[in-house]
Amino acid sequence: MENKVIILGAGIGAMTMGFENAGCSVVAAYERDRRAIELYKKNISGEINELDQLGTSNLEDVPDIDILACDFYRDLSIVGRNPKNTTDINNAIQFILDYRKPKIICFFIPRACLKWEKFVQLLGNINNRGYDYKYTEQATGLPITEKRVYLVAIHRSLGDVFEFPCFDEITICFTYLCKGKGLQANRQY
């Protein structure tokens, strides 16, 4: 059975591609930036909705899901310009948690977000709804490196304990880049 995913902050489709490559089905994607929505439509064959359309009045239209994924990394730059947006995305997350009760939540966030009052409140709400979460920092991006926080929350009813894998991103990137070039993909460069 493939896991069904909703993505908030879908951007131009990179996270959708990642989940689909992992064997998941992205059943709904939401984005605030209209330019990103247009690019998403060019990159991904699936439908994308404006984040503002997600609210309590249309939650019956939100499909059943196993995973809620949120890319706060880009969206928080938008949030910074309008404090109301923080409330909007927190409300959207809480609506989905209450109405669809996903088994797993994945957040991709800037490190500074862990100290923001609204985000700390969101984490408390997630915990109160029966989720245990863990997070880790990883450097991302080549050639520019930046720290990103990956947060995973699993509903307690599953009884699973999640551990982040250890990986060497440079090795992974080189493995990907070496495919199709006749190079040994498992060799350390």
- The larger pLDDT score, comparing residue 87 to residue 188, is at 87
Q: Find the largest Cα–Cα distance for the chain.
A: 54
Cα-trace Rg, the chain: 17
Model pLDDT for residues 143-160, shown as the tens digit of each residue: 667 778 889 999 999 987
Residue 81: DSSP 8-state: H
Residue 130: DSSP 8-state: T
Cα–Cα dist 8/67, whole Å: 11
Q: What element of type H or E holds 58?
A: none
Phi-psi region of 50 (alpha: psi -120 to 50; beta: other; left: phi over 0): beta
- By C-alpha distance, which of 138, 84, 131, 92 is closest to 111? 138
Adjacent-strand bridge partners of 132:
154
| Backbone CA torsion sign across 148, 149, 154, 155 | negative
**Which of 20-34, 38-52, 107-121, 168-182 has the lowest average pLDDT?**
168-182
Instruction: Pull the structure tokens for residue 153.
Output: 């929350």
Model pLDDT for residues 34-90, shown as the tens digit of each residue: 999 999 999 998 889 988 777 766 777 888 999 999 987 765 443 444 545 555 778
**pTM exceeds cut of 0.85:** no
Percentage of residues in the chain with pLDDT exceeding 70?
A: 74
